[in-house]
Structure 1
């Protein structure tokens, strides 16, 4: 670990997390936004469901770690909500078990420290037309419907309300633009840069509005590393002073709130 130490943000989930640093992903956006404020760690696993996640909770989030995360953002549900395969194999997890698994994840994370903060992301919708047209000879039929996605999303949101955990309703958030089916996904399932922009915006909204969290984890409220002025900084046009660039963000593609 390199220093100085910073708060740790961990993104934990399936492919929407694993892929979050590519293609203008929401993970890379958070990393840029929190540059010099927090370190963003990705623990994303393509194809995983909540059942697989529960099996390795102690390995990914050991209770005896010397440093515990300040924030964990959790996403599982898209693979769980797939229709079951006749063989009994595959990622489908029945809804009651999905809820119980997500509860186990939440309670494990809460047990790590008194100051840990948690945000769940609910199951997003899919572009059913593209999902059906992207059939592959390598896989059995992928049964993904928005009816199933909605059930798992609603169940996640309800659980978060019961456990007092912050949640982003991805099922609704991604449908706030009229052409969401084509704009928000690369393949009907995984997020495009436009879809990721919505996810990042919703996460920042939660962090901004969580006024009861102390200290605040919204980027504008967090201290920045090495903020002091230095004679080594760029010289101003008047030639008499330097300009401190530690908080400059004019180069951002998106001006985040």
Structure 2
């Protein structure tokens, strides 16, 4: 007689969802490694899902969020990061396709948090991350070298306003906040936190992880290590230990 099929429990592990634009999509790369650092830090506590979409702004991410995170997911969510604003804050006259007005950007963040709360994700499990500072000259050079389809349209002083709006959205919603922009600008030689003027270099990624770590500790402190440590397994009768899971 064939053995009875056992439903996989992989999807039942707690879930951490990293949601955003290219700064999230590239977060498992060699330079933009903050997502990989989060995954390593939380190994055997929860599964970390990268849901980053290069080039997307808050208007588009707001549309796709309900398609990516549903009520069926909510019970097992350990936390969600929302890392947007780098594209919203581009100069409208130079890049109208990606630009989102400041107040709409702030409202989009609030609406996304409200959606997550409506399906059962507590507000304190959401972490908003401000857009990083930008090195205008380096980004302009990178756009020229790579022949990007849009002209260089990043202005650091404008990005600052979007970072401030992100902080304000977190205060309105009661979520966690990582003010990456402000922390970057306090760094000596802050431009070395970026690898092309816009995306995070290794130094910037490590800075972001360091800012996230105390929040992750708070949100995951009660999550157990899944399955016993090897030294705790009964070598004579491993089933006695492992079948408890």
Separation in 1, partners of 2:68, 2:167: 24
3-state SS of 2:128 partner: strand
Aligned partners of 1:70 and 1:115 also within 8 Å: no
* Cα distance in 1 between the residues matched to 2:167 and 2:74: 31
Instruction: Mark the CA change 1:23 to 1:101 in structure 2 (over 3 Å): closer, same or farther.
Output: same
Q: Distance in 2 between matches of 1:18 and 1:93?
A: 20
Whether 1:129 and 2:137 are equivalent positions in the alignment is: yes
Q: Report the Cα offset of residue 114 of structure 1.
A: 5.2
Aligned residue for 2:86, secondary structure, equals coil
Task: Give the root-mean-square deviation of aligned CA atoms.
Answer: 2.1
Q: Are 1:217 and 2:226 an aligned pair?
A: no
Q: Say if 2:89 and 2:99, in contact at 8 Å, map to a contact too.
A: yes
Question: Equivalent residue of 1:174, what SS?
Answer: helix
Q: Which residues in structure 2 correspond to 1:1-257 (within 5 Å)?
A: 2-3=9-10, 5-24=12-31, 25-65=33-73, 67-85=75-93, 89-113=96-120, 115=122, 117-136=125-144, 137-182=147-192, 184-208=193-217, 210=218, 216-218=219-221, 221-228=222-229, 229-230=232-233
Whole-angstrom distance in 1 between the partners of 2:99 and 2:121 = 33
Gaps of 5+ in 2: 1-7, 236-245
Q: 1:163-207 deviations in whole A, cap 9, x for unaligned?
A: 11110001012233211202x111111111111111111111223
Structure 1's 6 and 68: CA in aligned 2 closer, same or farther, altered over 3 A? Answer: closer
SS at match of 2:77: coil
Using the size of structure 1 for normalisation, the TM-score is 0.80
The 3-state SS of whatever aligns with 1:12 is: strand
What does the per-residue CA deviation read over 1:30-49, in whole Å, with 9 as the maximum and x for residues that have no partner?
A: 11011111110010000000
Aligned counterparts of 2:133 and 2:113: Cα–Cα separation in 1: 23
| Larger helix share, 1 or 2 | 2
Residues matched between the structures, number: 222
Distance change >3 Å, CA 66–CA 80, structure 1 → 2: closer
Which protein has greater RCO, CA pairs closer than 8 Å, 6+ apart? 2
Do the aligned partners of 2:75 and 2:121 also contact (CA within 8 Å) in 1? Answer: no
Runs of 4+ in 1 over 6 A off after TM superposition: none
Unaligned runs of 5+ in 1: 211-215, 233-257
**Shift of residue 108, structure 1, vs aligned partner:** 0.5
